[in-house]
Amino acid sequence: MIGLNKKTTYRKKNSFMNDFTKNMAQALFNQDKVNDFLRKEIQTAVNQLLEAELTAFLGYDPYAKSGWNSGNSRNGIYYRKVDTQFGQIEIQVPRDRNGEFHQHTLPDYKQHSDVLESMIIKLYAKGVTTREIADLIEKMYGSHYSPAQVSNISKQMIPKVEAYHKRKLSDRFFCVYLDATYLPLCRETFEREAVYIAIGIRPNGHKEVIDYCIAPSENVEVWTEMLQNMRSRGLKQVELFLSDGVVGMKTALAKTYPKAHFQRCLVHVMRNICNKVRVDDRETIMNDFKQRFIGSLTRQPLYKLFMHSMTNGTRHTIMSLGI
């Protein structure tokens, strides 16, 4: 019976490791990861803007005494779905008691806005000044509200934007995923700029956007500044960084998180391969690449960290990459 139990245990462990390699490969080849996080951030920001817009319209904050006997008040919300380039978002549109409030954050009777996500990303970008925030708010609402009301919307949004980039971080993340996505951002004209984003996974499996910023192109100086900012906000330990092949990335990580492992993201490797082969050959080559990667997984830092986490009771952490 003892021998049978050992064999059964081995089979279960081997089966689990096969599942692990599949889940890990799926996670690393998931190209929708960044889009999903940006979608959630845009949804939160739009809801904040709508609440700020209603506050400016009514002339008083929620629960403020100045709103008593004002002749109008908040009256709940209704839900609306809007399509963005990152996926569909669900918006909570606030209402007033008198039915006089007409929001101007979203276009009427349309399920998609050509400039909404661009404006939101620029509004919440790291390093944006209060003057730039005010200018963005003016562009969005200046033709609909008085200067005083536009100023009130700006005053409500500035602390939210600043708090987002200055908020205290957890002191430890299991994994941090660094990526730069090129998006068409509306300035005087539509220009493609790099949106740098850092996504963290805590030891308990919780995932969050740590920070993001905008720059004309991807370079290691921007990443270095972002990493230093993460450390100054309380993030002291990261087990693993995943990123593309930016020149100097390992050097930047060595200065800020010298004990962290680094692994190049396989999504970027696959993209580079696809760009160098014929279209007809891509599927065959990609399937072969995935099989070879899974077969060599035991030699990767990711696998070694997983085995270490097994001994510390945090097996679910690494699996959360594929959630």
Give the pLDDT confidence of 239-284 residue by residue, as tens digits.
Answer: 888 887 667 788 889 999 999 988 776 655 566 667 677 878 777 8
In a 10 Å sphere around its CB, with 0-12 CB exposed, 13-18 middle and 19+ buried, how is residue 224 labelled? middle
Q: How far apart are CA 319 and CA 302, in angstroms?
A: 11
Average pLDDT over residues 16-42: 56
Which range among 163-177, 217-231, 270-284 shows the weakest confidence by mean pLDDT? 270-284
Look at residue 316 in the predicted model and tell me its pLDDT: 44
Residue 193 three-state SS: strand
Compute how many other C-beta atoms are within 10 angstroms of the C-beta atom of residue 131.
Answer: 9
Average pLDDT over residues 129-140: 87
Look at residue 11 in the predicted model and tell me its pLDDT: 47
Residue 17 above 90 pLDDT?
A: no
Average pLDDT over residues 276-301: 66
Q: How far apart are CA 156 and CA 62, in angstroms?
A: 12
What is the CA 287 to chain-centroid distance, rounded? 28
At 168, the pLDDT band (50, 70, 90 cuts) reads very high
The structure tokens listed for 275 are 């760009």
DSSP-assigned letter for residue 297: G
What pTM, to 2 d.p., does this model score? 0.66
Residue 46 three-state SS: helix
Look at residue 258 in the predicted model and tell me its pLDDT: 93
With residue 131 as reference, give the H or E element that holds it: helix 130-141
Residue 143 three-state SS: coil
Backbone torsions φ then ψ of 87, nearest 5 degrees: 125, 175
Compute how many other C-beta atoms are within 10 angstroms of the C-beta atom of residue 108.
Answer: 7
